[in-house]
Chains A and B, each alone.
Chain A
Amino acid sequence: MKIRTLAWSTFGSFFHNALIVVLLIVCVGVVLLMLTPLLGMKAMTTAQNASQVQVAVLGFVAAIMGFVSGFGSLLAAWAAADSLSSEMTSGTILAVMARPVKRWEFLLGKFLGVMLLMAAYVAMMFGLSWLLAWIGGERIRTAQWVLLAYPMVRYAIWAAVAMALATLLRPIIAMGIVALLALGATITASTNLDEHSVVVRYLLHGIYLVLPSTNLLSETRFLEITKASLKPTGWMEHGCTVAYGLDYAIVFLLVAMWSFHYRSLKRD
């Protein structure tokens, strides 16, 4: 009951958070801008250039989905860090924590509030996937739950990492570290291991596993419209991927709870 109350309150607070509202408006604006050339290209399709236009359209679709998906990670991390730090800055946390609420309950409520926001975002992204697939003249061939579960787990990871950092640091610094982690994970994931010695290979592999390497959880792997892998994916592979992501998120959420348990609660 208390956790649910905190989660819904946190979710509601995002719609009164000027920065998050601006970020969402910017995201919608960018998507609309990217749709303009896409729709223009579709309108110019003739029998002669159909195949060339189709390739360009699919490229645009992939870019839009990549942007929306990446923006979601940023939104999840910022919302998590800000939901905690804004309570400390404003001092509202004092009134809330004077209630019979345990510290872990408070943090879990905040986290679930962020996940409610991300659930709304994923639902919007899901609709956009279908719209873009339709514009691209394709159809989504993967299971629907993948398009919902994978991004949710991915955003849970970023939210948990940002929340853990926000228990110790100011949100802007926490976001800086999140950005560095994301950059490190991207670089590590895109490095060709075969070019390196065994030691470096092990080292990079270790870094890959330690960093929040969410490319495994990219639902675009299963989107035909992005020309991603078409290989059939078994339940075991799905299960392991989702479990990996959830495990990573839970570990960081527990770190956040532990850190928050010992921190001083005062107006920053």
Chain B
Amino acid sequence: MASPSAIEFRGVEKVYRSRLRRKEIAALNGVSFEVGRGEVCAFLGPNGAGKTTSISLLMGFLHADSGEIRVLDYEPGDVRAKAQIGFLPENFAFYKYLNAEKLLRFHHRLAGGRPDEAANRIGDLLHQVKLTGYETLKIGKYSRGMVQRLGIAQALLNNPQLLVLDEPTSGLDPAGRKEVRDLMFSLKAAGKTIFLSSHLLSEVEQICDKVMIIDRGRLLKSGRMEELLAAGDRAEIFANELPAEMEPELVGLGATIERSEHGVRIEIGTAHKRMVAEKLWAAGYDVVSLQPVRASLEELYMKVVGEKEAASKVIAPGVLGLS
């Protein structure tokens, strides 16, 4: 029976060794996570955090030093898994002397596609990524955005169950980014699993069900997007009115107060939310709503990575240099 997980990392460690300089760099340090089938998962982190290393490990390009990785129930690099994966590496490189049609035909053959299906499939994909009309232009003459679109087309060539996309909107203009976003929504609706690495947090927030934040080879945060964004330490209370005598007390508790014609919005630490709501009720005012403040992904990211950054300055250097 197929595992419910499309990707599983258990205690994965990877160290880059430079024999000449007798130096070791810990790229991944006991990383464990799971991505369920049909989930759209964002893999976030600053440059050098270990994102590309993780993707290379799950694609079988690199070998882990320890730990276990399973991709669609197979070992990484297993052709049975790769037959179901569509992959877009960061800064995708192509044979520049080929044109889009020939490159996709080459990949179609490598993917084991039937030759009689190639023309239709390639035509459809080029239309989907808006490269129709450029089929015969050599890829070396493509713009960065066109290359990226072609990369997305080749990733979709084998109708994959799992898409591994490293910076899919890199090099695209705003309209191109929106098209890719729409494409990912349609893939999500079709039940595809998407493992996405991106620095564009606002887009990730819109698309992804799950988020993982990694830095310096360690997984710092992982969970459902809704839960992580709602798990802040602030709450917001909407009331029809706020008595003037309560205001200094609330400000003293760190609350921010916004008045409007519809009422008053009070944002306060979750520790005080009950007390404030009860006082308002007791004073005869209506508490219209009380809910946790939903942080943006960018705020969450900056908080998680920023905390780690601050802690690392005290505890340890960023790069593990062993001589």
Contacts and interface: CB of A to CB of B under 8 A. Distances in A.
A91 interface: yes
A95 B111 contact: no
A101 B80 CA distance: 10
A9 B92 CA distance: 18
A266 B91 CA distance: 12
A84 interface: no
A13 interface: yes
B115 to A, nearest CB: 9
Contacts of B83: 100
B94 interface: yes
B134 interface: no
Given A5-B106, A266-B61, A91 B93 contact: yes
Given A5-B106, A100-B82, A266-B56, A94 B93 contact: yes
Interface string A97-128: 11111110000000000000000000000000
Contacts of A98: 59, 82, 85, 87, 89
Contacts of A92: 93-95
Contact of B61 (A90, A94, A99, A102): A94
Contacts of A97: 59-61
A264 interface: yes
Nearest to A86: B95
B82 A91 contact: no
Contacts of B110: 2, 5-6, 96, 99-101
Contacts of B169: none
B112 A2 contact: yes
B218 interface: no
Interface residues of A, number: 25
A264 B77 CA distance: 12
A113 to B, nearest CB: 13
Nearest to B94: A92
A265 B61 contact: yes
Interface string A1-38: 11001100100010010000000000000000000000
Nearest to A5: B109
Contacts of A9: 95, 106
B281 interface: no
Given A95-B92, A97-B60, 13 more contacts: A1-B109, A2-B110, A5-B109, A9-B95, A13-B95, A91-B92, A91-B93, A92-B94, A94-B87, A103-B77, A264-B56, A264-B63, A265-B61
Interface of B: 56, 59-63, 77, 79-80, 82-83, 85, 87, 89, 91-95, 97, 106-107, 109-112, 151, 154
Interface of A: 1-2, 5-6, 9, 13, 16, 90-92, 94-103, 262, 264-267
Q: Which 6 A-B pairs have the closest CB atoms?
A: A91-B93, A98-B87, A100-B79, A16-B97, A265-B61, A99-B110
